[in-house]
Amino acid sequence: MLMTQGLIEEAAEASRQMQRNYPQTYYKVSRENLDMVYFLVEPQLEPYLKYINSHPMICKGIQNELCKILPH
C-alpha cells in the first residue's frame, strides 16, 4: 500500500512539473491521461521537450514524429 502511494505521489509531482515547465505539452497529453505516466520517461523525454519548446521553428522544419504529436 505504501509503495503504491509513493508511485502515485511521484506521478503527480512529475505531472505538476510538466504542467509548470511545458504547459502546451501537458494540456495535449493530459487529455489522454498520459501526464501521470510522464515520470516513467521524464529523464529520456526531458531533452526533447526542452528542444521543442525552445526551437519551435526548427522542430517544425524537421517534421519528426515527436514534433507531430507534441505542440510547438
Domain parsing of the chain, residue ranges: 2-69
Helix 38-54 vs helix 2-21: crossing angle, to nearest 10: 10
pLDDT band at 70 (very low <50, low <70, confident <90, very high): low
pLDDT in tens, 7-31: 899 999 999 999 999 998 898 899 9
Can you give the pTM of this predicted structure? 0.69
- The per-residue pLDDT for 60 is 59
Residues 22 and 46 sit within 8 Å (Cβ to Cβ): no
